[in-house]
Chain A
Amino acid sequence: MVVGHLTGGLTIARTELRRSVRKATSRLSQILGLGVGLFIFSAGALAVSYLLVTQSPDLSGFTIGAGVRSAITFQWLFVVAIIAQRVVTVNPRPDAGDHLLTTVRPTTAVVGLILAELGRIAAYVGLPVLVVTLALAYTTGSVATVPLVALAVALLFTSGVVLAHVLGLGIKLAVARIPVLARHRTVLGTLAAVLLFGGYTVIQSTGGGTNGFGVVPVGWIADLAALALPVGTSPAHALGGLAATGAVAAVGVPLASRVATAFWFGDSVTPEIETEEATVDRVGTDPLASGLGLLGRLPLGSGQSGHVARRTVLLARRAPAKLSYLILPFIVAGSFLLQAAFGELTIPTAAFAPGLAVAIPWVAGAAFTLNPLGDEGSVLPLTLTSPIAGRTYFRGLVRPGVVIGWLALPAVPILALATDYAPADAALMLGVAAFGIPAVTAVAAGIGMLFPRTDAVRVARGREATPPTLTAMVLYSACVGLAVGLPVAAGLAPAAVRAVAAALVGGLLAFPFAYVGGPLTGVAEALGSLGQSIAGLDTAVVQWGGLLVPVALGVVFALVSVRFAARYVERYTL
């Protein structure tokens, strides 16, 4: 039976991996991402291997102690968390599940999913680990290190992936069965992500805090990997690590199978909650407005553009999962905040108000206008064949972000005054944000048109959505940084902006030219002297220049963007 599950699992894993490779190589962005991932892993491994072979370091003084074991356990737990998160959001059920689950037993399907995940991990870390291991074996003359490291790494990842499937499927089962979890899953999921990444960066940055993980025997596998190396190891710990990782894998597979069976074949409270939430109270004569509830009171305009605006908000309200990409910057910010709070025992309150002054315009533009064609989805032919002018259409698209953004603006001066900013600084942040909202929302429309995503991707809970492309997100974020972030920074801290600008121009930009040398030395020198000139600027010049130039550029970009986007949609063909 075990062999049957393994054979079937291998068949499933092979197919899943083939699908992953074909998916990854079907788009340039995916290939680039894959290349960057492989480069990151391989470059580090090559560098370490090079040092090992050329330097032949004396390892005899090194001992595998609590610190190493603890670090291994900590990283293992992080891998478990990341893969569990993948199971919850990306792979909670097998694709084409109706066929698979009427063809093989659930255990075989679970084994297949686990093996496929291990295969994906091996594609990234397999070769780098092998290269470093071979270098280590060559340097120390210990051939036995190769199978020992291979065994230890295989056990470490297998136990981690198995445990991640138990946890991930367990979370999905809990959400499927417990109404309160099902109802608040988005909020709970966001909170969990902030805590996970924040907690990881906190513990990682505090360093010593990880020693406590040394008691978990999973990390003892380090002793097994190093058993044949000329370093201090503990055979008892090696045996403990072997037993612990083996036990997690052995117990985890049947457990994951049981949880998967309960989840895949059992009932869920989600449909009832969704049905309940889908019920709409009708008031008034405008179904679009009444469907918006309180949001219907927003001044979203009338006529054609009003219809577009209300439809846009209604779709986002009914399917908030499509906006899930908006929380990414906040997860990163939350992680940094946690790190600062725990690492340095201070909360950087001074960053709150400027951060909010930039965040509100960013969200306003990113929410509704960064992928207009993709957001239309199957309705696009209707829109394109409707007698609506491009400018009218974009007024409707832009208005929800602008209105909602402006409504959120009072939070900026309130937060600024509450965190000890002078009233003038609070007014500056308010002014820049108020200007930035319409400007960046208009710019977003143009960028979204240039880099649309029309094919849906799977987001949380297996639902599909069409978030903006990564290119659009990066370009748009850069524009927000220029049009809103720079004026805020220049207005509040001109000296710091001057120093950063001088270092960027005179240092970072000049460096490659200086490095190449030859005829490019002149460019490096010019950039260097420009950097010095910037450093010598009066702070008042930086303050006003940093404020007015980006604002002027923002106006120009916004006007160009609206004109371009309106024409683009009018001439767009499927």
Chain B
Amino acid sequence: MNHDDALNMDSITAQQLTKRYDETLALDTLDLSIPDGSVYGFLGPNGAGKSTTMRLLTGLTMPTSGEATVAGVPTTDRGQLIDHIGLLPEEPPIHDELTAREQLTYAAGLRELSESQSRIQRLLERVALAEDADTRIDTYSTGMRQKTAFLQAVLHEPDVLFLDEPTAGLDPRAARTIREFIDELSDGGTTIFLSTHILPVVDEHADTVGVLSDGQLVAEGSPGDLKRRVDADTGDKTLEDVFLDVTETAPDEEI
């Protein structure tokens, strides 16, 4: 199945997905339809509801109303869901006391992956972490920690990968390594849900971009479409212009 064929099915869907915390409406009737094998760039100001959406789609939080599926599995069915997803949250979920190899071995052990050591070694080499793989994580730089957490999220070759700020705080070389890896995964058919504030990354990699503001999806389309919608005449706007434009607009005045 090539990349275009893979885009025919929806890997992530959400219908009227809503999350309310007491008086606060964190996510308001979100509808999503993300094709299989695509990269979905998820943008929004701080506090817009991006992390809540990601927690809902990965089954870490239950919705107040509405429903969602990931890889065809309802997000409320955590038992099935965890077999299909990989998650890299903003704070790398790794143990400082372990080494990268131990951490990845642990993650592989939890999923009972076969021949995990050779795969771990390949992945470590892939992100240039093999030399430091037997050093404790508490001595790692931000980039090395992020790479370890990233490998942990992709180790089991998930159908859908959720990435929250995967390149934040990384130097250009480390960021490029992660970005190239994202491309590879996408080419291999993995659906990627990418939340970030680094807009050029989204511009470069995303097939579709969704912009969330005050819990509502206020804009959605390909990066090119969105730019044209903001400035149909010249079309020379950047994704940053789009972001600033749509997030300044009141939610009920959706473009």
Q: Which residues of A contact B (CB under 8 A)?
A: 7-8, 11-12, 15, 18-19, 22-23, 26, 95-106, 108, 265-267, 269, 271-272
Cα separation A26 to B107 with both chains bound (whole Å):
24
B89 contact set on A, CB distance < 8 A = 98-99
A-B contacts, 16 listed (Cβ < 8 Å)? A11-B106, A15-B102, A18-B102, A22-B97, A95-B95, A96-B94, A99-B93, A99-B149, A99-B152, A102-B58, A104-B110, A105-B78, A106-B78, A265-B78, A271-B21, A272-B23
Given known A-B contacts A18-B98, A98-B60, A105-B78, A269 and B22 have beta carbons under 8 A apart: yes
CB nearest to B164 among chain A residues? A98
Q: Are A8 and B23 in contact (CB under 8 A)?
A: no
Please give the distance in Å from A102's CB to the nearest CB on chain B. 5
Given known A-B contacts A7-B112, A103-B107, A105-B79, A98 and B95 have beta carbons under 8 A apart: no
**B61 on the interface (CB 8 Å rule)?**
yes
A97 contact set on B, CB distance < 8 A = 93
**B87 on the interface (CB 8 Å rule)?**
yes
Given contacts A95-B95, A99-B89, A102-B85, 20 further A-B contacts (CB under 8 A): A11-B106, A15-B106, A19-B95, A19-B98, A26-B97, A96-B94, A96-B95, A98-B60, A99-B87, A99-B107, A99-B152, A100-B110, A103-B82, A104-B82, A106-B78, A265-B60, A265-B61, A266-B62, A271-B21, A272-B21
Q: Which residues of B contact A (CB under 8 A)?
A: 21-24, 58-62, 78-79, 81-82, 85-87, 89, 91, 93-95, 97-98, 102, 106-107, 109-112, 136, 149, 152-153
Cα separation A96 to B94 with both chains bound (whole Å):
6
Q: Are A267 and B21 in contact (CB under 8 A)?
A: yes
B136 contact set on A, CB distance < 8 A = 22
CB nearest to A12 among chain B residues? B110
B95 contact set on A, CB distance < 8 A = 15, 19, 95-96
Please give the distance in Å from A394's CB to the nearest CB on chain B. 33
B91 contact set on A, CB distance < 8 A = 98
Please give the distance in Å from A228's CB to the nearest CB on chain B. 39
Please give the distance in Å from B125's CB to the nearest CB on chain A. 22
A12 contact set on B, CB distance < 8 A = 110
- From B23, B97, B102, B111, give the contact of A103 (CB < 8 A): B111
A101 contact set on B, CB distance < 8 A = 60
Q: Are B59 and A102 in contact (CB under 8 A)?
A: yes
Identify the interface centre among B23, B78, B109, B110: most chain A CB within 10 Å of its CB: B110
Please give the distance in Å from B215's CB to the nearest CB on chain A. 15
Cα separation A19 to B81 with both chains bound (whole Å):
28
Cα separation A23 to B24 with both chains bound (whole Å):
39
B97 contact set on A, CB distance < 8 A = 18-19, 22-23, 26
Cα separation A265 to B56 with both chains bound (whole Å):
10
Q: Are B82 and A11 in contact (CB under 8 A)?
A: no
Q: Are A265 and B87 in contact (CB under 8 A)?
A: no
Cα separation A201 to B58 with both chains bound (whole Å):
47
A96 contact set on B, CB distance < 8 A = 93-95
A7 contact set on B, CB distance < 8 A = 112
Please give the distance in Å from B123's CB to the nearest CB on chain A. 16
Q: Are A11 and B98 in contact (CB under 8 A)?
A: no
Please give the distance in Å from A15's CB to the nearest CB on chain B. 5
Please give the distance in Å from B98's CB to the nearest CB on chain A. 7
B58 contact set on A, CB distance < 8 A = 98, 102
CB nearest to B90 among chain A residues? A98
A266 contact set on B, CB distance < 8 A = 62
Please give the distance in Å from B191's CB to the nearest CB on chain A. 15
CB nearest to B112 among chain A residues? A7
B85 contact set on A, CB distance < 8 A = 102
Q: Are B110 and A8 in contact (CB under 8 A)?
A: yes
Cα separation A100 to B103 with both chains bound (whole Å):
12
Please give the distance in Å from A275's CB to the nearest CB on chain B. 8
Q: Are B82 and A102 in contact (CB under 8 A)?
A: yes
CB nearest to A268 among chain B residues? B21
Cα separation A197 to B81 with both chains bound (whole Å):
44
